[in-house]
Amino acid sequence: MALLKFKAPTLPMPTTAYDVNFMNQLVRALGNYFGLLDSTTPIQVDSITLSRLPTTGAGLPVGSVYQSGDVLMVVVDYKAYAASLSATATLGSVTVTTT
């Protein structure tokens, strides 16, 4: 998958012996590359495949994607997510008398 707005920097060709200029070029190129990895610029892709998504937001960090039925959901910080749900209710006893 290629990113539309980013291109990995070209690394300089190595020399046969140690060369300060080569090392400076290499460090600059690697700095540019890591700068791209650390960037928060939005990315645009042609397609995406999401396989084996979790089915609940429980335990996932904010911003994570999970699948609920046929809908993709995003974990938000103001909502609680349960791993499972169960409930038990008791009414007691009822006596009915007719005359």
DSSP 88: -
**pTM given for the model:** 0.48
Q: Is the separation of the CB atoms in 75 and 81 below 8 Å?
A: yes
Phi, psi for 74 (deg, rounded to 5): -120, 135
Residues 6+ apart with CB under 8 A from 43: 3, 4, 5, 6
Q: Please report the pLDDT score of residue 55 as a whole number.
A: 92
Q: Please report the pLDDT score of residue 3 as a whole number.
A: 61
Q: Is the separation of the CB atoms in 12 and 29 below 8 Å?
A: yes
From the first residue on, what is the mean pLDDT of each consecutive set of 10 residues in the chain (99 residues)? 66 88 91 82 82 93 94 94 76 71
Domain locations in the chain as residue ranges: 1-44, 49-87
Q: Please report the pLDDT score of residue 46 as a whole number.
A: 81
Positive or negative: CA dihedral 13, 26, 5, 47: positive
